[in-house]
Amino acid sequence: MDSPIDPASSLNAARRARELRRVAEERLDVLVVGLGVTGAGAALDAASRGLSVAAIDAHDLAFGTSRWSSKLVHGGLRYLARGQVGVAHESAVERGILLRRTAPHLVKAHPYLLPLTPGVSRAQEALVLAGYRVGDGLRAAARTPRHLLPGPSRLDAARARRLAPFLEPDGLRGGLLSWDGRLVDDARLVVAVARTAAAHGARVLTRCRALELTGRGARVRDELTGEEFEIRARAVVNATGVWAGGLDPRVRLRPSRGTHLVLRPGTVPGLAAGLHLPVPGERNRFALLLPQADGRAYVGLTDEPVDGPVPDVPDVPEEDVRALLDVLNAVLGTPVRREAVAGAYAGLRPLLAASGRPRGTGSTAGVESTGGRTSDLSRRHAVLFGDGLVTVVGGKLTTYRRMAQDAVDRAVAEARLTAGPCRTARIPLAGAPGAGRARRAGRRAEGGDLPARLVERYGSEAAAVHDLVRAHPEEVGLGITKGELLWSVLHEGALDESDLLDRRTRIGLVPEDREAALPAARDTLG
């Protein structure tokens, strides 16, 4: 019987130790620095072209901005409102690739309701509905089938309240329903991309900090042992996101803080769709209320400029909490109080601060930025290059694959590497149906004899995870078992308690849940 997973995709401490020794002894084609979604994507792109690749990160997979998103894979509707048609089209294309080919186990269509409250004028209603229809046109242009992503519609007040029973009924004249892509978990997408890169031969090395970067490699430190050594490469891709300027002085970023709140289970009962929440005083800005499978809900997100040094993990100021609660309570029949907030998280967007096209930017990238609010800065990515060093910045989670492609294209051209064309639009990620040896497990999962929660999180590898769950069924929080923690240690590169609780699972979003799960995490690692 075939193995239910591709062994070459497994990341663990033993593999890390082996590959760390080897990577110091050879000269690579490409070194990628940063293992967020873009860096992991660049490692996969380069390795799948036949190049020798190492990808390093000072911390863990998805340690930075990639795990702090709204979990949306969207078609760029908000960019249409700003006239950024190219960015919107790129988002729609990449959303379709994720939905149809590379990650259908992790990305699904999800409904979103804009309640037509007195705060939404009829002119604004007409404008938003027109935007939804243009967005549906982008879906068609991206060749995403309607059965994967339904079209928009207008609902009466009764149907709107069936999707969100807690809405204030007075003055509610209905709702606008739209559909977009949504991730089960953004950090799981990064893990899947990194494991797929490993299956194609990339050396994926966490806890390996780049101290100094040039176009010929990096001086690095193993954060577990303190040992320093050199990694030599013909080309280097800096994909460190909001920290990119620390390794490439050409990069000028204007970080923006996006805060989300985690509401306790039962706070917004009966929520069956995401909710677009009009931001008072803003014509085209909306916050989001997002139901979670565990009964909790997320509210987000802010867009506030951040000055000064970039922290590893951003704090959430109390003014962000209050501002998001005010936006939410403007549409609710019963206000949500501060004590209903069980946790909060914030991510920093790596927005470009320079006006116009930066010097050295490749033709595949562009910048449209201003000196005004960070919410006005373009989300288009840029690729900067020179002396063998390629830095990719800006962008968003949905378009990570295209960002990685542009960065590797530039690295190949600058270093004159012999490589094939980009293949990542057709490569299923780990856990996707048809990914390597996982086909048989995928058929079993589709047959319905596995827990739906496991299939949703692990796709075609759910059967293999289930075997561990049956052997280690103890719950550690949010319905997650010790068997799943063990899977993360054996196959997903988890090295410590934070990897397990804060990234491979999201138990750590609520401090008391994290504290309760710590003994099980430590026992699993032991």
**Does residue 350 contact residue 183 with C-beta atoms inside 8 Å?**
no
Q: How many CA within 13 A on the CB side of residue 351?
A: 27
Three-class SS of 180-199: EEEECCHHHHHHHHHHHHHH
Q: Provide the CATH number for the domain formed by 7-67+187-253+351-426 in this structure.
A: 3.50.50.60
pLDDT band at 196 (very low <50, low <70, confident <90, very high): very high
Cβ atoms within 10 A of the Cβ of 515, count? 13
* Residue 354 pLDDT level (bands cut at 50, 70, 90): low
Where along the chain do its domains lie? 7-67+187-253+351-426, 258-348, 447-525
Nearest alpha-carbon partner for 190 in 106, 286, 296, 289? 106
Q: How many CA atoms lie within 13 A of 19 on its CB side?
A: 24
Comparing 204-208, 247-251, 336-340, 502-506, which segment has the lowest mean pLDDT? 247-251
Report helix angle 37-48 to 186-199, nearest 10.
Answer: 20
Same-fold call for 7-67+187-253+351-426 versus 258-348: no
Instruction: Give the range among 157-166, 374-383, 504-513 with minimum mean pLDDT.
Output: 374-383
Inform me whether the pLDDT recorded for 388 exceeds 90: no
Query: Is the model's pLDDT at 78 over the cut of 80?
Result: no
* Average confidence (pLDDT) over 482-502: 98
Phi and psi dihedrals of 183, rounded to 5?
A: -90, 145
Q: Enter the pTM of the model.
A: 0.93
Per-residue pLDDT at 331 exceeds 70:
yes
- Binning pLDDT at 50, 70 and 90, where does residue 342 land? very high
**DSSP symbol at 6:** -
Please determine, for residue 365, whether its predicted confidence score (pLDDT) is greater than 60: no
pLDDT at residue 493 tops 60: yes
CA distance 494 to 480: 16
Which positions ≥6 away from 262 have C-beta within 8 Å? 296, 297, 298, 341, 342, 343, 344, 345, 509, 510
* Architecture category of domain 258-348 in CATH: 2-Layer Sandwich (3.30)
Average of per-residue pLDDT values in the chain: 90
360 phi and psi angles, rounded to 5 deg: 90, 5
Output the pLDDT for position 435.
Answer: 62
Query: Quick one: average pLDDT of 454-471?
Result: 96
Q: Where are the alpha helices (DSSP H) in 31-152?
A: 37-48, 77-80, 85-97, 122-141
Q: What angle do CA 424, 427, 430 make, to 5 degrees?
A: 120
Q: Strands 107-115 and 274-278, how do they pair?
A: parallel
Q: Would you place residue 521 in the very low, low, confident or very high pLDDT band (cuts 50, 70, 90)?
A: very high
- Mean pLDDT confidence for 372-379: 45
How far CA 138 is from CA of 80, 84, 93, 233, in Å, comes to 10, 13, 8, 40
Per-residue confidence band for 424, with pLDDT thresholds at 50, 70 and 90: very high
Q: How confident is the model at residue 249 (pLDDT cuts 50, 70, 90)?
A: confident
DSSP helix/strand/coil, 332:
strand
pLDDT recorded at residue 200: 98
Instruction: Please tell me which residue, 294 or 423, carries the higher pLDDT value.
Output: 423
Pair 268, 297: CB distance under 8 Å: yes
pLDDT band at 273 (very low <50, low <70, confident <90, very high): very high
